[in-house]
Amino acid sequence: MVEQKLEEIKLTFEKDLEDAVENGEFDQLYLKYFSRTHGTITLLLKELPTLSDQEKKELGPKLNLLQKELKEQIESAKKQWDQKLRNDPKIDLTVPQPAKKSGYMHPTNQVIREMNEFFRYYGFSVVEGPEIETEEYNFRKLNLPKEHPATDLQDTLYISQKDELLLRTHTSSIEARILTEHKPPIRVVVGGKSYRNETQNKTNSHFFHQYQGVVVDKGITIQHLKATLELFHKLLFDENVELRFRYKYYPEVSPGMGVDMKCNFCNGDGCSVCKFRGWIEVLGSGMIHYNTLKMCGIDPEIYTGFAFGMGLDRLVMQKFGIKDIRKLYGGGVYYI
C-alpha cells in the first residue's frame, strides 16, 4: 500500500522532472515536493508521527531515501540545465567588449601621490600651506631680503587689497611655515601650486606646481641629502639613473647643491633634449641656510637640515606626453 504510493510519487516526479528540464523551472518542481506547507514529501513526513511504531520503522527510512534521491535528481538536472545555458553558441568569449571605465586622476596629482607615497615610506609627513602668503614667509625667512633680485615686484603677483600679501612664488614658503610652527625632528614633503607674474605660453605659466622636501634634525649632513636624492631619482627614473652633484647657489640654502641626471636620450653625448649639455637639471637643493633656521626659531648650532625642490610640470608633461602646459591645466587633456 505504502510502497505503491511511493512508486506513484516516483513516477509522477520523473514526468515532472522531464517537464522541468524542458523549461528550466526547477524552483516550482522543488516546491511541489518539498515546500514546507504543501510539498508532497513534506506532507508524508509530517504524517509519520501519527503512524504506529511498526509503520514508522518501515516507512521512515524509505521516505528519507526517496527524499534524498529526488533532491539529488533535481540538483543534477539543474546542473545539466546550467551546462546547456553555458554552451549557448551565441556566447563568444573572444569578442572584446568596451571597457567599463573609471575616472582618471589628474596627471600632476598622480605624480605628487607617487612621490608622497615614496617619501612616507621614509618617514616623511605630507604637509601643506596657504597660497596667499606674506612677504615674511615667502621671502624674508628664506633669506631673501627686500633688495634681493628674486623679490622684485615684476616676478611676484601681489594682492591689491592688502600690503605685503602675495601669491606664493614657491613652495619654500611652506618650508618656512613648517620650520616656524614645528620643533625638530622635522621630515616633510609638500607638493602644490605656486605663482609668478608671467605671460602664459606652451612651457611657462603664471601658475605651476612644485615639489619640496625638508629635513631638520641633529646631525643631518649633506651626505644624507645626497642619499635621499639618489633614492628619489631612482623612483622618478630608474635604478640605473646616473646623477651629478654640483655646487649651485640658492639664497635659502648654504651650501647649495644642483642635481643633474645623465640625459637618457643621448646617454650624455648631448642632444636637443638636454640642450647639448649631456645632463638634465632635475632639482635644486642644499643645507638649509643658517639664517633661515634662525629666523624660524630653530637653533642652527644644534640642528642642521636640508631642503630640495623641483618644478613638477615639466616632469609630468614629459611623463604623459603633454606638450602644452596650458592644456594640462585648462581642460585640454582628456582621459580615455
Partner 1 sequence: MIVPIEWLKEYVDIKKSPEEIAESFTSLGLLLDKPIQNNILDLEHRMDRSDWLSILGCARDLAAFENLPLKYPELYTEKGKEGGGVRIEVECPDLVHRFNTRVFKGIKVGPSPEWLKTRLEEYGISSKNNIVDITNYVMVELGQPMHAQDISKMEKPEIVIRRAQTGEKVTTLLGETIELDSDTFVLTQNNKPTVIGGIVGGIDTAVDENTTEIVLDAGNYDQTSVRQSSRRLKIQNETVLRYDKFLHPKLTEIAIQRATKLILELAGGEYYENEDWYPQETPIKQQELHFERVKTISGMDIATERVKEILTALEYKILEENEEKLKLQVPYFRTDVEVEDDLVADVLRINDYKNIPVTLIPAAPPKEITPEIYKFEEKIRDYLVTLGIHEHITDPLVSRNEKLLEQVILENSLNSEKDALRTTLYETLLPVTEIYKKHGIEEVGVFELGRVYRNKEPRELRYTEVIRVGKEGYLETSKKVREILAGLLLNLGIANVTYKKEDEIVKIYQKDLFLGEVKLDSFTLFTETLLKTERGILRVREGFAAESYEDISLTIEETIYIGEIIDFINNFHEKISNAQVIDEFQTANIKSVTVRITFLETNKTQIKEIKEKLITELQNKFGVSLRH
Residues 10-49 that bind partner 1 (CB under 8 A): none
Query: Looking at 7, 82, 267, 276, which residue binds partner 1 (CB under 8 A)?
Result: 276
Task: Return the residues of window 187-206 that contact partner 1 according to CB under 8 A.
Answer: 187-188, 193, 195, 197-200, 205-206
Query: Looking at 217, 234, 264, 266, which residue binds partner 1 (CB under 8 A)?
Result: 217
User: Is 273 a binder of partner 1 (CB under 8 A)?
Assistant: no
**Cα–Cα distance, 274 to 318 (Å, whole number):** 13
For residue 292, count CB atoms less than 10 angstroms from its CB and return exposed for 0-12, middle for 13-18, buried for 19 or more.
buried
Query: Looking at 32, 224, 234, 319, which residue binds partner 1 (CB under 8 A)?
Result: 224
- Cα 276 to Cα 137, 242, 263: the distances in Å are 37, 17, 9
Q: Which of 333, 23, 290, 84 minimizes the C-alpha distance to 179? A: 290
**Cα–Cα distance, 195 to 316 (Å, whole number):** 18
CB of 264 to partner 1, least distance (A): 19
When the beta carbons of 141 and 289 are compared against partner 1, the nearer one is 289
What cell numbers appear for 150 in the block?
628674486
Query: Looking at 74, 220, 236, 310, which residue binds partner 1 (CB under 8 A)?
Result: 220
When the beta carbons of 186 and 315 are compared against partner 1, the nearer one is 186
- With CB under 8 A as the rule, give the number of residues binding partner 1: 92
When the beta carbons of 74 and 214 are compared against partner 1, the nearer one is 214
3-state secondary structure of 139: coil
Task: Return the residues of window 118-157 that contact partner 1 according to CB under 8 A.
Answer: 120, 122-128, 130-132, 143, 147-150, 152-154, 156-157
For residue 212, count CB atoms less than 10 angstroms from its CB and return exposed for 0-12, middle for 13-18, buried for 19 or more.
buried
User: Is 6 a binder of partner 1 (CB under 8 A)?
Assistant: no
User: Is 247 a binder of partner 1 (CB under 8 A)?
Assistant: yes
Cis peptide before 255 (omega within 30 of 0): yes
